[in-house]
Chains A and B, each alone.
Chain A
Amino acid sequence: MAAAMQLNTLMSNMFATGLLDDQFQQLQMLQDPSAPDFVAEVVTLFCEDGERIIGELAKLLDKPAVDFDKVDAFVHQLKGSSASVGAQRVKNTCIQFREFCQGKSRDGCLKTLDAVRNDFYDLRSKFQTMLQLEQQVQASFYPKQ
């Protein structure tokens, strides 16, 4: 089935490029009949929360006087959730981000925020594709009569 193959290719690609790490595989293993939508739920939550955090970060860094502690707190949170999901690249960018926070470098933070945003959006769109393909695969297994 085309959808299944596409999904396969997509996933391999995401792992190969370092977008995802084996933590994501752990999540996949947690999905079972008792939690059939586990991955989808986690991924969706991640996308929502990530979006929100990035928005908050942008706002904080936009102020003339940046509250680096708050920025750091948000980045910390994003780092945590990306680590839990297996979003390796986003997580690594967050690590860099925190260094700039600790150095209280606004420019550094702004630059890294851009990087985080890019990585995040990239991941998010791939996640969305993944979810769609998943649904198609599922649908093809249980075709409507």
Chain B
Amino acid sequence: MLLDAMMMEPRKGLMGRERERDQFPVGMRVLAVDDDRVCLKVLEGLLRRCQYHVTTTNQAITALKLLRENKDMFDLVISDVHMPDMDGFKLLELVGLEMDLPVIMLSVNGETKTVLKGITHGACDYLLKPVRIEELRNVWQHVVRRKFSNRETNNLDFSKEYSKHPTTDSYHGLSQVASGSSDQGGSRASKKRKEPHREEEDEDEGDDNDNDAQDNDEPSGSKKPRVVWSVELHRKFVAAVNHLGIDKAVPKRILELMNVEKLTRENVASHLQKYRLYLRRLSVVASQQASIAAVFGGRDPFLHMGAFEGLPSYQPFASSAGIPSFNPHGLLSGVGTAAFGLQDLAPSKAIQCASSNGAVSHCIGDTNKFHIANLQENQQANLAQGLTAPLGQPQLQQKWIHQETSDLSSFFSGSALANTMSGTLQRVTSSSLPPVELLECTQIKVGAHSSIRIPPASSGLLESTTKLDASFVAPEQDMDQKGKFPERVTVLPSESLIAADRSKCGTRSSGSTMLLLSDTERHSKYLKFGVASNSRHGIDEMVNGSFNYNGGASVPEQNDVYDFGNSKLHGGFNSSSCNFDGLLNSIIKVENDDVPFADNDLGCELFPLGACI
């Protein structure tokens, strides 16, 4: 029955569309997905009556394809929950991550638990069928709201446009922001999942926006100076957050606690958003690691890949053409971190990390971002971090190492946080790209901090490694005392990684995905918001034929299909030619783009990690 009823309205000319956009929400572009033809038709009629521009499809797969082909094509997605080819919730998550578009769920089922599921998966709204037109008339607010927060995150100066709304430029501004922010699906999604916080932030943002509007009146020319979140800054940030409690941490108060000049509430807000993302990811990783750990017990983390072959759920790792030469030992010697998403290594390491709980490795994929090196607490508090391999699904290839230490607060306060892992997140780029470039190991020890970015060039890697070693020397001792894995260890991994990558360079070099797991507990609350159901079955579904976990080679092909967030990485999976540039650009440039990594990360990690919920 399900003919591919993709009916596209004839695209209006550019002029027509421009005109439409000026009268936002008129002309807002909606993609409607519902396998039931009747419902789809009715929905289309209703949306047209609201003067939206409607595209319909009764297949989720088609919808995804459409969205991926051109991220700027739509402003909003409305999707049914029950669809035969893909679960509506999964579509919801994918869209949120990859395209950062608001998604509204639709269903005839209005049970609380189902609605809750929609919310936790990141839906902006949940409507019951039959949908009334009054409800649809208001859906444009979700688009604006998202753009608003994207704007802030991007530090783009659109506030004036909003404040001048409605002007002829307002919608342009909105759409630009939307497209510019399409890379930030992950963070948006995480924001969505924490609605209470989000709303708070939104309110605050609103205030700030007004102020900004007054301050910045010139168009385009004036851009707010980018805030570089140095380790110090992040340390303060984390301290403040921990002090307030992650639930109560609002940008305003964090800003107050941090007491940093020239830091705006918006900067903090966007940083907070990313931070939450990390935490969430950590929790996801933590649960994964826990499961892995359960399997592997306290075995040497550096089991060879072969060891994982047996693990059904980690098949992707098994056969992926990861870094064969990678020697896990280097990475995780003692440190519980070693998430090498890529295929071979990670799993074992990850497990080890989880169990050992002492790894503090900072690998930050992007210095600019959260190069929160891991904080080694003098006392026991170390950040037990497990590196979790982003269960190397091929898709995860493009992970970059990211590390964050939430224990900065303990650093500040001096209290030993016994296994408080704040979010030390490490994401190692997976093999597909010469991810090593993204590898950045930063270690922050109480007071000691070094962040190293690994430049794309392989030679750069060497350098980085060296640096890392040097910097890690000091912490090493501390670590040892605690019996935790010296930070230095972290460095090693990078070396190995580098080496490994080198060997693979050009092909799917396996980036090691290192995830440092923070305290699961702490982030358990985020677990709910994490990968959610998708992670578990999603992967399987995703594989679906187009996606083959086991073979690394297949990944590249799948790129566009179930590419959790990786698609953004410019299809870098293609074996020989890792399109690294795009990835690098998006990840490394903190200045321009606060969130990109989030997307990639989320996309890469969350889902494949599965097992979380």
Contacts and interface: CB of A to CB of B under 8 A. Distances in A.
Interface of A: 23, 26-27, 29-30, 32, 34-35, 38, 41-42, 45-46, 49, 52, 73, 76-77, 79-81, 83-86
B1 A49 contact: yes
Nearest to B49: A30
Contacts of B133: 26, 29-30
A81 B39 CA distance: 5
Given A81-B37, A81-B38, 18 more contacts: A23-B130, A26-B130, A27-B42, A30-B45, A32-B49, A34-B48, A35-B48, A42-B41, A45-B37, A49-B36, A76-B108, A80-B82, A80-B107, A81-B39, A84-B36, A84-B38, A84-B129, A85-B42
A45 to B, nearest CB: 5
Contacts of B82: 73, 76-77, 80
Given A26-B132, A86-B130, A81 B45 contact: no
Identify which of A32, A77, A84, A85 gathers the most chain B CB atoms within 10 Å of its CB.
A84
A46 B48 contact: no
B45 A84 contact: no
A80 B131 CA distance: 11
A42 B1 contact: no
User: Interface size class for chain B?
Assistant: 20 to 34
B310 to A, nearest CB: 31
B109 interface: yes
Given A23-B130, A26-B130, A42-B45, A84 B39 contact: yes
B46 interface: yes
Given A76-B82, A83-B129, A83-B130, A41 B108 contact: no
Interface string B24-42: 0000000000011111011
A77 B36 contact: yes
B36 A81 contact: yes
Nearest to B48: A35
B42 A80 contact: no
28 contacts: A23-B130, A26-B132, A29-B133, A30-B45, A30-B46, A30-B133, A35-B45, A45-B38, A49-B1, A49-B37, A76-B82, A76-B108, A76-B109, A77-B35, A79-B108, A80-B39, A80-B107, A81-B36, A81-B37, A81-B38, A83-B129, A83-B130, A84-B38, A84-B39, A84-B42, A84-B130, A85-B42, A86-B130
A46 B42 CA distance: 10
Given A76-B108, A83-B129, A86-B130, A49 B38 contact: yes
A49 B45 CA distance: 18
Contact of A45 (B41, B49, B80): B41
A46 B38 contact: yes
B129 A80 contact: yes
Nearest to B42: A84
B106 to A, nearest CB: 9
Identify which of A23, A34, A35, A80 gathers the most chain B CB atoms within 10 Å of its CB.
A80
Contacts of B1: 49, 52
A79 B1 CA distance: 17
A79 B35 CA distance: 13
Interface in B126-172: 129-133
A78 B449 CA distance: 62
